[in-house]
Amino acid sequence: MIRVGLTGTVGAGKSTVGRMFERWGAWRVDADDLARRAVEPGSPALEAIRERFGEAVIGSDGCLDRAALRRRVFGRPEEREALEGIVHPAVQALRAEALGAARGAGARVLVAEIPLLLEKELEDDFDVIVVVDAPQPVRRGRIQSERRLEPGTFEAIESAQWPAGRKRAAADLVIVNDGDLRQLERRARSAWDFILEREEGAR
């Protein structure tokens, strides 16, 4: 099984590429989904967040108030590192479970979407690293329209990640998403064909 680490700059469209890979046959593991599961009500990670950051980041329904937590940690490196120290081990455990499930199901290609894959030095866990990127003005516009973030939030998120050039340099494949969906699909398909060639060669 070929293990593909899919990452990219914020707002570049890696989840869109991940869904394309899934449609073409990949076993897809979405880090955002794992992160949500890791902090479900009653989970050890959520209780640790409550203890560290207080009741203000817990909603009336007992779920994590992500907006409140985001306001608390972005732009504050020590707070962000404390949060990552709680959430990342829980996400890693869930990712390991997903990897085992993929192997058990006989998957040919596992694609794991991980925003901070390179920053957390996880590249050795994968056979192919794919980076999705786009010009910063394009990415900022997408994020603002899709998530309606407060002013300055895009910059705070981006500052927690490697610059685009450094991500590209560390990639085996770079997919540039600066056009329409049809163009992105063509570029993603080329990357997918490369991945399948690697999988065939590994047999």
For residues 64 and 125, membership in a common domain is answered with: no
Number of domains observed in the structure of the chain: 2
Are residue 22 and residue 37 in the same domain, yes or no? no
Query: pLDDT tens track of the chain, all 203 residues?
Result: 999 999 999 889 999 999 999 999 999 998 888 989 999 999 999 999 999 999 999 999 999 998 899 888 877 889 988 998 999 899 989 988 998 999 999 999 999 999 889 998 999 999 999 999 999 889 888 887 776 666 667 777 787 789 999 999 999 999 999 999 999 999 999 999 999 998 777 66
Question: Are 123 and 195 part of one and the same domain?
Answer: yes
102 domain-assigned: no
Domain with 84, as residue range(s), is 33-96
CA angle 110–192–170, rounded 5-degree value = 80
Q: Out of 72, 96, 120, pick the residue that ends a domain.
A: 96
Q: What is the amino acid identity at position 24?
A: W
Of 46, 67, 96, which marks where a domain is finished? 96
Of 88, 145, 149, the C-alpha closest to 115 is 88
Say which CATH number the domain at 138 has.
3.40.50.300
Domain match, 111 and 11 both:
yes
Indicate whether 19 and 45 sit together in one domain: no
Is residue 69 domain-shared with residue 149, that is, in the same domain? no
The reply to whether 195 and 145 lie within a common domain is yes
This prediction's pTM: 0.84
